[in-house]
Amino acid sequence: MKPNTILIVDDEENILKTLERLLEDEGYKMFFADSGLKGLEIIKHEDIHLVISDHRMAGMDGIKFINEVKKISPDTIRIMLTGYADVGIAIKAINEGGVYRFITKPWNNVELLSTIKQGIEYYNLQKKLDRLNKLIQSQNTELKEWNFKLEQKVADQTKHIRDLFLDAIKSLVFALEAKDKNTEGHARRATEYAAYICKKMSLSKEYTEDIILGSLLHDIGKIGIKDPVLDKKEKLTKTDYDHIQTHVLIGERILTPIIKKETVIKIVRHHHEHIDGSGYPDGLKGKTIPLEARIVAVADAYDALLSERPYRKATNNINAIKELRKFSGIHFDAEIVEIITTNGCSIVK
């Protein structure tokens, strides 16, 4: 371990000698200077832990010297030793030079040794604290980097899982479209209309994403509908209608174990509810129908009107808009119909 270093600056040689004798057995490495200028040269080239300086010296006085020491080596402990018990000098030395102690000549040896010892201990404690702070800072930086990397990894994994999940969902939709050729592309188009409505209604990103997913899956329950009913070219009987209506419940049953998003499930169950309560499966009325289901109901109906079905030809856009407006506030939410019919032409592919 390196010895602690002390610099003594005094223009009286006998003082330097006396202090050297006093401190020689204390284990300090000592430096001496008979002027402030020489003292500063030592400060610049040596790692000095504590400096004891006289005040009244030829050339640079003690306060100026201490101020310079503070600038060059701010951690060095500074002690002022002077024959003049001038309170003004003491205050100036403490305020300007950050002096640790101010001691008057003649000093008491025991007191001076104890002050030096305390100063050196203070210096070493400060250094230890600095090292600890640096260590904490570097560990904090390292921790932040680890945290950042970890968050990145979690985000990547989450995206990967979500992509896998969406791929699986798309496979489900493809499976439905393979079974029911009449509705090929319907889910995708209805989803585009639903996304358009969400944007116009300034819905949140998360809610919109859920509505998009629900819209893509709204008719997934048709997987459970018998082919002869789905493919029927003649007018559907009441029994056929009753059977087709079960698709909302079948869809809900298929998705509930795999999708924990209530918005999606509500869309699947309620997208055939009507504002006047004449819809199914629960006959909900007005705003008791979840907003997400009211949005998909309009998007679904709009695309259905524009698409050909085995039992009817596709309607053109003008007539589709007329039809939606005819049932606005009866089957469909009036505000949503307004949104899609106002700019309907521009979003039809």
Q: Does 303 bind Fe ion (CB under 5 A)?
A: no
Distance in Å, CB of 249 to Fe ion, minimum? 11
**End-to-end Cα spacing for the chain:** 82
Q: Smaller CB distance to Fe ion: residue 34 or 219?
A: 219
Distance in Å, CB of 218 to Fe ion, minimum? 6
Distance in Å, CB of 183 to Fe ion, minimum? 9
Question: What are the residues whose beta carbons fall under 8 Å from the beta carbon of 72, sequence distance 6 or more?
Answer: 40, 43, 44
224-283 residues near Fe ion, rule: CB under 5 A: none
Question: What are the residues whose beta carbons fall under 8 Å from the beta carbon of 41, sequence distance 6 or more?
Answer: 33
Q: Smaller CB distance to Fe ion: residue 80 or 293?
A: 293
Instruction: For residue 105, give both structure tokens.
Output: 């000549």
Distance in Å, CB of 168 to Fe ion, minimum? 21
Q: Smaller CB distance to Fe ion: residue 33 or 268?
A: 268
Given strand 101-104, what is the order of strands in its sheet? 29-33, 5-9, 50-54, 77-82, 101-104
Instruction: For residue 204, give both structure tokens.
Output: 């949140």
Q: By C-alpha distance, which of 230, 146, 139 is closest to 181?
A: 230
- For residue 214, the surrounding DSSP H or E stretch is helix 205-217
Distance in Å, CB of 247 to Fe ion, minimum? 6
Q: Smaller CB distance to Fe ion: residue 92 or 271?
A: 271
173-232 residues near Fe ion, rule: CB under 5 A: 219
Q: Smaller CB distance to Fe ion: residue 22 or 250?
A: 250
Residue of minimal Cβ distance to Fe ion: 219
Question: What are the residues whose beta carbons fall under 8 Å from the beta carbon of 249, sequence distance 6 or more?
Answer: 221, 269, 281
Q: Smaller CB distance to Fe ion: residue 98 or 281?
A: 281
H helices within 271-328, ranges in order? Answer: 291-306, 317-326
Distance in Å, CB of 239 to Fe ion, minimum? 18
Q: Report how many residues bind Fe ion under the rule CB under 5 A.
A: 1
> Using CB under 5 A as the criterion, which residues of the chain lie in contact with Fe ion when the complex forms?
219
